[in-house]
Amino acid sequence: RQIFQWASEGAGLNTIAGRLNDAGYLPPSHYKNTQGILTHENLMGNGNWNTRTVARILHAQVYTGDLVQGRTKIVDHQQVQAGDDNLIVARHTHEPIISHAVFEAVQDYRKQVCEQSKAVPKKPYTPNIFKGKVFCADCGSKLHFATCKSFGGSQDHYRCAKYKSNTGSCTAHFIREEVLKQIVW
C-alpha cells in the first residue's frame, strides 16, 4: 500500500526504493527467506530494495484483487512476451490491497513520466573507456559513468553504483572523467 501511495504522490522508483531501505522494510526475497519459502539461496539478493523490484510491484495488477494470466507465451520453444489480447483476467479472486482507481492512476502517471522521458533529447553515444575497470574504494562497486549539467556546462564523471541506485549502502563518491584520464595517462 505504501509503495502505491508514494507512487500516486509522484515519487520516482529510486525515491521509493530509498524510502523502503531507510525504513528497514525487507525486500521480497529476504521476506520469503524469513517465511521459509525461498527456493534457493542464490535468489536472496543483496538485502536492499531496487528500482526493478519497485517497478514490478507497481505493474502487478494482482494487488487489486485480480488474477492476471497469459503475460507470456511459448513460441518455437521460447518464452516470449504476449500481447494484451492474450491476457486472461479473473476479477475479485482475492482481497485487494489497493483499489483499481489507485492502480490505474499509478499506471497513467508512470506512462506520462515515460513519455516525458522519451521526449527529452538524449546525448549521443560516447564510448566509456573505463567501463568495468574502475571501482569504489570503499564498497568495491563499479563506478558508473554520468553527466552532470551544472553551472551552465556539463561535467562527465564516474560515481559509485551503490550510491547511484539510492540503496544507501555507500556515500556520494565520484571522480571527474578528465581527472581520471590525467591520472591514468
| Whole-Å CA distances, 156 to 27, 78, 98, 105, 119 | 33, 41, 42, 36, 22
User: In this structure, what C-alpha cell is assigned to residue 63?
Assistant: 494487488
Select from 149, 184, 146 the least CA-distant residue to 165: 146
Q: Which pLDDT score, from 0 to 100, does residue 155 have?
A: 80
Q: pLDDT (tens digit, 9 = 90+) per residue, 52-96? A: 999 999 999 999 999 999 888 888 999 998 888 888 999 999 999
Sequence-ordered strand ranges (E) for 17-166 = 67-69, 72-75, 78-81, 88-90, 143-150, 153-160
- Contact residues for 123 (Cβ-Cβ < 8 A; gap 6+): 147
Q: What is the pTM of this model?
A: 0.66
Grade residue 123 by pLDDT with cuts at 50, 70 and 90.
Answer: confident
Q: Which pLDDT score, from 0 to 100, does residue 101 have?
A: 96
| Whole-Å CA distances, 55 to 58, 64, 100 | 5, 16, 17
Q: Is the pLDDT of residue 124 over 80?
A: no
Let me know: does 156 contact 164? Beta carbons within 8 Å. Answer: no
129 vs 126: which has the higher pLDDT: 129
Q: Indicate the residue type of 141.
A: S
Which is it for strands 143-150 and 88-90: parallel, antiparallel or unpaired?
unpaired
